[in-house]
Amino acid sequence: MAKLERAKSEHPSHAMGWHVQPLKGRSIQAFFSIEDDGENFTYPDAFDVDFNKRAEFDARALDGPAINRKIRQLMSEGYGWIVVRNPLAKHSLGVGILQKLKLDFDGSLGYFGVGLIDGPNVRIKGRVGWSCAENMMSGVVVIEKNAGSTFGAAIRGGDLVCKGDVGARTGIDQKGGSILIGGRTGAFSGFMMQRGRMVVCGDAGKNLGDSMYDGTIFVGGAIQSLGVDAIEAELTALDVAWLTRKLGMYGLEPKNGIRNMTKIVAGKQLWSYDNLEPAEKKLVL
Amino acid sequence: MATKSKAGAKARAKAKAPARGKAAAAKKAPVRAAVKAAKGRKKEMISAGKTTVDIDHFLKTKGLDTEREKIIGQHIGYRYDVNLLPDYDRLTPFLRTYIETMGWDDLNWLEDVHLGYEDGRPAIFDRNINGWVSMPKGIKLPDNQQDRDMLARELLIKFQMSQKHPLYQLKQIYKKF
């Protein structure tokens, strides 16, 4: 009986503080001093590598994980420029590199190449499969030929460049960074884009920028169709300056010149802060 | 025969059309009103964004500009222009050294870093901890967003590369290799 009364008045979660601790204003505080702690240019646990120290190895006989381990071992030895010969389109190569590094692949990569990277400068001489540079945080990735679908999926930062054509859903869920495409891009490119910039020098497929929340898409060629809530905007002087500099860095040129590029932004009708019912929202769009 | 019946169907449809049109219009009237109201709110939001010319707007106020924001008690959208491109003439020496160290030709991922405002204080969003890093109190903010963004980038690098960054400390405890 006593137990029952206790259960009524006191829920076990009370002891955990759920009912007394306000959610608002809770924060984890970490203090650091700019003067004492802030003069590093790389992560504290990154390998100290030198761009002038070059190493190369043949990946023909190695599987994916072994190639990645080899790259890591070379970084730990201070090599800042690594060349991988014969990658033979193996999957998930060059992933999870969280520091500065010059990494060259002398061939093509399979699926999920150079994903989850934060810092390296990667050059791929061949083609890449699906989801290249997925979740990329920073750095530069240049692909000399074509790329598959979901190129730069969920990218958050850095420059991702494909000099050829790319497949569908390029930059799906893009949260930052710049995706630069020398050729054409497939359907649903910029789908659910949230931030960042996508530049397509050639034509864009159906439903470009579908359901985009924010960010900017520049297209040099024809756009087959715009997706839901993607609208055209005016090209500004800052846009032109940025495009000229950025495309010049990688030797890319839009079909009809930079000044004739089409700029696509979010119409922001999908921002879910108003009180429209779903049926009403459909009509607005 | 088939042609005749098709023609008849067309005529019947034509006769019914005005009535159907009226009924449909009546049905859609409240929806149209809602759409109009929504577009009004949209315009209001856009105009609020455009009229926010005071760079310290989010330091001086809570950013509740539109009717909708006042009702829900929170600001709608970002507190800074996420699409603002950097002005490279305003690069700081620290950032130049950082770019050089990393072997890049420009700001790279830092192009997406801007000075924001959180709880009425200038702050930078750190994606590695999914939280805001407050600007130290002693630092005087420049009078334009481009310079503020450069300052934010510098501070964020210094914080992320510090051994006191929570991600580094977590990694020390949980890292597998």
What pLDDT, in 10s, does the model give residues A100-148?
999 999 999 999 999 999 999 999 999 999 999 999 999 999 999 999 9
Query: What is the residue extent of each domain of chain A?
Result: 146-285
Residues 21-60 of A with CB under 8 A from B: 27-28, 30-32, 34, 37-45, 51
Nearest CB to A239 within list B85, B101, B162? B85
Pick the range with the lowest mean pLDDT from A42-51, B19-28, B80-89: B19-28
- What is the reported pLDDT for A268? 85
Instruction: Give the Cα-Cα-Cα angle B105, B158, B60 (nearest 5 degrees).
Output: 105
What mean pLDDT do residues B71-98 have?
89
Chain B contacts of A264, Cβ < 8 Å? none
Bigger pLDDT: A19 vs B62: B62
Please give the mean pLDDT across all residues of chain B: 78
Residues 106-165 of B with CB under 8 A from A: 106, 108-112, 127, 131, 136, 155, 157-165
**A72 DSSP 8-state letter:** H
Query: What is the residue extent of each domain of chain B?
Result: 2-72, 88-174
pLDDT band with cut points at 50, 70 and 90 for residue B13: low
Q: Is the pLDDT of residue B49 over 60?
A: no
What share of chain A in percent tops pLDDT 70?
84
Q: Is the pLDDT of residue A174 over 60?
A: yes
Q: ipTM of this predicted complex?
A: 0.85
- What is the reported pLDDT for B172? 86
In total, the C-beta contacts within 8 angstroms joining chain A to chain B are 133
3-state helix, strand, coil in chain B (%, to 5): 60, 5, 35
d(CA B75, CA B59): 13
What mean pLDDT do residues B107-119 have?
94
Q: Is the pLDDT of residue A34 over 80?
A: no
A8-17: burial string, b at 16+ Cβ within 10 Å, e else: eeeeeeeeee
Pick the range with the lowest mean pLDDT from A130-134, A164-168, B8-12, B173-177: B8-12
- Between chains, do B102 and A119 touch, taking CB under 8 Å as contact? yes
Find the residue in B nearest to A24 (Cα): B119
Q: Is the pLDDT of residue A46 over 80?
A: yes
Residues 42-81 of B with CB under 8 A from A: 42, 45, 68, 72, 76-78
Residues 73-92 of A with CB under 8 A from B: none
Nearest CB to B82 within list A38, A214, A269? A214
Q: Is the pLDDT of residue A275 over 70?
A: no
Bigger pLDDT: A76 vs B81: A76
CB of B89 within 8 Å of any CB in chain A?
A: no
Of A23-37, A239-253, B125-139, which one has max mean pLDDT? Answer: A239-253
- What is the reported pLDDT for B68? 77
Burial class (CB in 10 A: 0-12, 13-18, 19+), A246: buried
3-state helix, strand, coil in chain A (%, to 5): 20, 25, 55
Asked if A124 contacts A113 with a C-beta cutoff of 8 angstroms, the reply is yes
Pick the range with the lowest mean pLDDT from A39-53, A166-180, B38-52: B38-52
Per-residue model confidence as pLDDT tens digits over A222-266: 999 999 999 999 999 999 999 999 999 999 999 899 999 999 999
Per the listing, tokens 């060059």 go with A94
Longest dimension (CA), chain A: 83
Interface test with B, best of A238, A249, A263, A285 (most B CBs within 10 A): A238
What mean pLDDT do residues A199-223 have?
97
- What is the reported pLDDT for B51? 41
- What is the reported pLDDT for A28? 64
Task: Report which of B146, B101, B92, B111 is spatially closest to residue A180, judged by C-alpha positions.
Answer: B111
Find the residue in B nearest to A25 (Cα): B119
What mean pLDDT do residues B14-42 have?
53
- What is the reported pLDDT for A38? 64
pLDDT band with cut points at 50, 70 and 90 for residue A22: low
pLDDT band with cut points at 50, 70 and 90 for residue A156: very high
Asked if A87 contacts A95 with a C-beta cutoff of 8 angstroms, the reply is no
What mean pLDDT do residues A157-186 have?
97
Domain A146-285 has CATH 2.160.20.60: yes
CB of A273 within 8 Å of any CB in chain B?
A: yes
- What is the reported pLDDT for B3? 44
Q: Is the pLDDT of residue B48 over 50?
A: no
Alpha-carbon gap: B76 to the closest alpha carbon of chain A (Å): 7
Asked if A234 contacts A214 with a C-beta cutoff of 8 angstroms, the reply is no
Q: What's the predicted TM-score (pTM) here?
A: 0.81
What mean pLDDT do residues A74-97 have?
98
